[in-house]
Structure 1
Amino acid sequence: MLVAGFALAALNLRPAIAGVSPLLGEIMTDVGLSPAGGGAITTVMVVCLGVFGPLTPLLARRIGLDRTLLAGLLVIAAGVTLRGTDGAPVLYLGSALAATAIAVMNVSMPAIVKQHFPTRVNLMTGVYVSCVVAGAALSSALVVPVEHATGFTWRGVSALLAVPALLAALLWLPQALRGRGDGQNAPRPFRTVVRSRVTWYVTALMGLQSLTFYVMLAWLPTIYQEAGLPADQAGYLLSLTNLVQVGTSLAVPVLAGRRATQVSYVVGAGVLTALGYLGVLLAPMTVPWLWMIVLGVGQGASFALALLIIALRPADPAAVTALSAVAQSVGYVVAALGPLLFGFLRQVSGGWTTPLVTGLGVLALQILAGWFAGRPATLGKANL
């Protein structure tokens, strides 16, 4: 039950975001948004992933990690239901509410791995990350077919995303009821974490790989639709790259976690992501499935390795929560610039060459950050 609830909760960490991009054209037309305004939907959500992550240590100390996770699932359900009602303000508000819950859950999950599976960190990190990317893949693949099958508009499809969140909450409820909320006396290692260079290497890696990921999550279907593919086929390409990430993110943490250093894995993942970007830039309609596979392997490995390093470096769950809060909060604020910047560059340049070349520059910085973040180090336990 613990593993099943943990996995199902992880499945809910991306559909609220990934389910937007295949329907983005319809949403923009219905609500009356510009390309920059359409990109801002994802940007708002990713900003919330960064800004509200620091709430997690406060909630975890007051009500416990397990109950914090349960609360996050319920708020996701509320947010995706709200944004499908009416008007641009409500669209952004509901998206922000769902993303705030995801932010709290993002920070909680590595600490839950450390708390409940201390001898299986590598394996359970792989399970966690593979479920996250599986949720993204399923949502990006199914939102358009579900819309066609049900006759719903994008608003109804958005509300349907509340169903898996509520199911996960129901499954996690017994664990939350057993969990203790007496975390007030838990160690508070923020000062030690913030002062460590390791923290900022990991934060840079987390932010840059998230930026390059969310750019593709937000704009890849649009890129291919403008190249001539129907909306459903463009969504399938995004789904393919996300599906590839499932297997990659399950295997890579198990392999990389056995070694003292993860440098070769992190650098290799960045290079593969860059090759995927190049394929989309230079020959998007030539074997597009191949570019999606390469991109998926690179992005899946990058994400999994960033979260594995967050779980491995600290000595205890409280330090994991602190490092996770810093790395994911700052990292996602950086990542939030990506979709908005790509939308702006597309708008002013009239094409996708300038945005994709900019993405390649960001990937060069990601590889450099990974070189330093992947080296062995330990953040010690501190009661500050």
Structure 2
Amino acid sequence: MNITNRRWLIVLGIMLVAANQRAPITSVGPLISDIRASTGISNTVAGMLTTVPLLAFALLSPFAARLARRFSTERVIFTALIVLLLGTCCRSLNGAGQLFAGTILIGLAISVCNVLIPSLVKRDFAKQVGLMTGVYSVSMNLCGALASGISIPLARGTGLGWQGALACWSLLTVLAIIFWSPRLRGTGLEAATTSSAAARKKPNLWRSGLAWQVTAFMGLQSLIFYMLAAWLPEILVSRGMSQGAGGWMLSLLQLSMLPFTLIVPILAGRMRNQKPLVLLTVILYIIGIGGLFINSNALVPLWAVIIGIAGAFSFTLAMIFFSLRTRTAHEAAELSGMAQTVGYIMAAIGPMLFGWLHDMTHGWDLPLMLLIVASVFIFIFGVGAARDRFVDSV
């Protein structure tokens, strides 16, 4: 196989792995009511269906870079895909226990891919980091959006129920496994990268102010996304929108991200610093989330699109910061692991807290205010993360 074809297969493999990083989670939100009715769980416990994967992200993320150094990035990602397949199948069995056990496996598997894909891009596409960050972000968000939109039609239109609708996403994982398998033969790039990284003095990211700013930015944008992924359909249903339409609004939010998840990282990679993009991100978040306080379903598509664009900015900025603020693929993996460990601990409390605040107040205004506060902090930490510096700089 010539080099051009080989690189296209690498790109396709990365896209398929990315496609599996959101769909298994975003497919749950529109089905929350069905799952709650079937299992008898409360709103707070239902919120944990989104929280549990985030806690799993935080648990395994610190070890992903170490596993990659020992067994190779390709093999670790392949193993994660197998675990993801097992988790998806387990989650679709009857019973709350199996539901949460499968969800844990899904979270552990996705956490590995979340950490290693940015470092893989830096390693294999060092001169096209912005473009490749956009490519895998588009793949991730496209499948996440489709999962939100078709969950209700799959569950009710085909008679599969919520278990069958969630199980369908195992087919996407099988496809990723098939196309990733050839990479197990190795590329020869891992050893070279590891050797290069070893020759450099390893920075202590936990003492780096810049690394902590990237981490906070990552966590806050994840906090907003996963709270909305879990509860936006429920908010809209409580205001008179049908459950199917509520799912499609979440889908619209994610579909609106697609062009910007490709454009933003390319722009960010060409800028000396990314502060203007951070400012625009926060303005869009405040406008879109603020619009949800208006009890008008006719305007919901507008707010969904604006929030989606803001989400595209914040997510792709977080991803490209892992590459732009580090010098090597090894450092990128370490920063990605740190940011996703601490960041997802922050994000994990979001859906459960959102549901708890609703249970306590019997309304959505206070939970939505939490999103506004998170947007303000995104600006504070994002301005620092956007500086033209490296994490090992003094």
Query: What TM-score does the superposition give when structure 1 sets the normalisation length?
Result: 0.96
> Quick one: which of 259, 277, 291 aligns to 1:279?
291
Per-residue displacement from partner, 1:301-328 (whole Å, max 9, x unpaired)?
1000111111111101000000000011
Q: Secondary structure at the match of 2:358?
A: helix
**Alpha-carbon distance in structure 2 between the residues aligned to 1:190 and 1:212:** 32
Runs (5+) with no aligned partner, structure 2: 1-8
Q: Secondary structure at the match of 2:126?
A: coil
Aligned to 2:266: 254
Superposed counterparts of 1:213-292, under 5 Å? 213-292=225-304
- 1:340 aligned onto 2:348: no
**Alpha-carbon distance in structure 2 between the residues aligned to 1:117 and 1:211:** 29
Superposed counterparts of 1:163-202, under 5 Å? 163-179=171-187, 187=198, 191-202=203-214
What residue identity is the alignment partner of 1:151?
G
Aligned to 1:103: 111
**Alpha-carbon distance in structure 2 between the residues aligned to 1:353 and 1:104:** 35
Aligned to 2:318: 306
> Quick one: which of 10, 14, 17 aligns to 1:6?
14
Per-residue displacement from partner, 1:151-171 (whole Å, max 9, x unpaired)?
111111211111101101110
**Alpha-carbon distance in structure 1 between the residues aligned to 2:383 and 2:296:** 30
What residue identity is the alignment partner of 1:173?
S
Moved over 3 A (4+): 179-191
**Alpha-carbon distance in structure 1 between the residues aligned to 2:88 and 2:296:** 32
Aligned to 1:78: 86
- 1:322 aligned onto 2:334: yes
Aligned to 1:31: 39
What residue identity is the alignment partner of 1:121?
V
Worse-matched range after superposition: 200-209 or 148-157: 148-157
**Alpha-carbon distance in structure 2 between the residues aligned to 1:104 and 1:54:** 9
Deviation at 1:191, TM superposition (A): 4.7
Are the aligned partners of 2:239 and 2:295 in contact in 1 as well (CA < 8 Å)?
A: no
Are the aligned partners of 1:53 and 1:103 in contact in 2 as well (CA < 8 Å)?
A: yes
What residue identity is the alignment partner of 1:19?
S
**Alpha-carbon distance in structure 2 between the residues aligned to 1:322 and 1:290:** 38
**Cα 1:170–1:148 shift into 2, 3 Å:** same
Are the aligned partners of 1:189 and 1:318 in contact in 2 as well (CA < 8 Å)?
A: no
Aligned to 1:155: 163
**Alpha-carbon distance in structure 2 between the residues aligned to 1:155 and 1:92:** 13
Aligned to 2:382: 370
Deviation at 1:192, TM superposition (A): 2.3
Are the aligned partners of 1:67 and 1:179 in contact in 2 as well (CA < 8 Å)?
A: no
Per-residue displacement from partner, 1:198-231 (whole Å, max 9, x unpaired)?
1000001000111011110110001001111111
Q: Secondary structure at the match of 2:287?
A: helix
Deviation at 1:358, TM superposition (A): 1.7
Deviation at 1:86, TM superposition (A): 2.1
**Alpha-carbon distance in structure 2 between the residues aligned to 1:12 and 1:284:** 34
Per-residue displacement from partner, 1:30-62 (whole Å, max 9, x unpaired)?
011100011011011111111211121121011
State the Cα RMSD in Å. 1.6
Are the aligned partners of 2:208 and 2:392 in contact in 1 as well (CA < 8 Å)?
A: no
Deviation at 1:374, TM superposition (A): 0.7
Q: Secondary structure at the match of 1:270?
A: helix
Are the aligned partners of 1:271 and 1:367 in contact in 2 as well (CA < 8 Å)?
A: no
Runs (5+) with no aligned partner, structure 1: none
Percent of matched pairs sharing the same residue: 34
**Alpha-carbon distance in structure 2 between the residues aligned to 1:202 and 1:236:** 31
- 1:139 aligned onto 2:147: yes
Aligned to 1:89: 97
> Quick one: which of 71, 79, 102 aligns to 1:63?
71
**Alpha-carbon distance in structure 2 between the residues aligned to 1:335 and 1:271:** 21
What residue identity is the alignment partner of 1:117?
F
- 1:49 aligned onto 2:57: yes
Per-residue displacement from partner, 1:135-156 (whole Å, max 9, x unpaired)?
2101101111122343111111
**Alpha-carbon distance in structure 1 between the residues aligned to 2:203 and 2:363:** 45
Count the aligned residue pairs. Answer: 381
